[in-house]
Amino acid sequence: MAKEMDDKKRLQEAFKQKDWNEIKTNDSWAVFKIMSEFVEGYERLAKMGPCVSIFGSARTKPNNPYYKTAEELAFQLTQNGYGVITGGGPGIMEAGNKGAQRGGGISVGLNIDLPFEQEANPFIDNDKLLNFQYFFPRKVMFVKYAQGFIVLPGGFGTLDELFEAITLIQTKKIGKFPIILLGKSYWNGLIDWIKEVMLGQEANISKKDLNLLKIVDSPEEAVFEINKFYKKYSHKPNF
């Protein structure tokens, strides 16, 4: 009941009439808030060295096999010299930070302020938690300082981050870096649809675009793909 009242109050506030001067003032101040999130993100993440971003659902429970997979993945990444960046929340994100901390590596959390979730998980290094009000500066930080994306099962937010990275590479706005989908049984249906419908029926992508993704089924395979890529290329920010 309390949640329904909160939702109703937020909805009423969203549709509350505002005059143009109020809108203009709010928009102007928002510019400074957005700038501050970019500046803080650039200054802090640039000091951390090579990292890999791990994505996945906030709803994944600790007894879920994918939680344990994400934790082991992050641990293995730290043993190969990489820090770990997550969205800072629960579920797969928590597992990633937990594994990074267990491995003695850098554990970064880019937390987002949401009305219904999420609180930062307790496995982020004290000086490496960044809190964002806006999604798009946060998404820039995920991409700019990541040497790779490893995507575990997740929902709309996970897909948003996945396709954002693919689009940036496909359109050559950033250089190519590894994008790895971990969990074949989860991702195979999506990849089949991309091949059969997006490419085969409608030709909305080219065949070479399929090479932007790699599907694996274990942490070991994911880390192997990251290491294989960086035997050819140097670590650097993506733009």
Please report the DSSP string for 227-238 in residue order. HHHTTTS-----
**Per the structure block, which two tokens stand in for 114?**
């949401």
Q: Which region holds residue 85: left if phi is over 0, alpha if psi is between -120 and 50, else beta?
A: beta
pLDDT at position 238 is 65
Residue 238 falls inside a structural domain: no
pLDDT at position 35 is 93
pLDDT at position 186 is 98
State the total domains in the chain: 1
pLDDT at position 234 is 78
Q: Which residues contact 227 (CB under 8 A, 6 or more apart)?
A: 80
Residue 234 falls inside a structural domain: no
pLDDT at position 105 is 97
pLDDT at position 3 is 54
Q: Phi and psi for 145 in degrees, rounded to 5?
A: -105, 10
Domain coverage including residue 214: 2-229
pLDDT at position 237 is 66
Residues written for the chain: 239
Cβ neighbourhood burial of 110 (10 Å; 0-12, 13-18, 19+): buried
Residue 236 falls inside a structural domain: no
**63-122 pLDDT, tens digit each:** 999 999 999 999 999 999 999 999 999 999 999 999 999 999 999 999 998 876 568 999
Q: Phi and psi for 185 in degrees, rounded to 5?
A: -65, -30
Residue 17 falls inside a structural domain: yes
Q: pTM for this one?
A: 0.86
CATH code assigned at 167 = 3.40.50.450
Three-state SS at 55: strand
Q: Which residues of the chain fall below pLDDT 50?
A: none
pLDDT at position 28 is 76
Residue 48 falls inside a structural domain: yes
**Per the structure block, which two tokens stand in for 224?**
């192997």
Q: Phi and psi for 202 in degrees, rounded to 5?
A: -110, -15
**Per the structure block, which two tokens stand in for 158?**
């996970």
pLDDT at position 173 is 93
pLDDT at position 115 is 72
Sign of CA dihedral 226, 50, 135, 2: positive
Q: What angle do CA 65, 69, 74 make, to 5 degrees?
A: 150
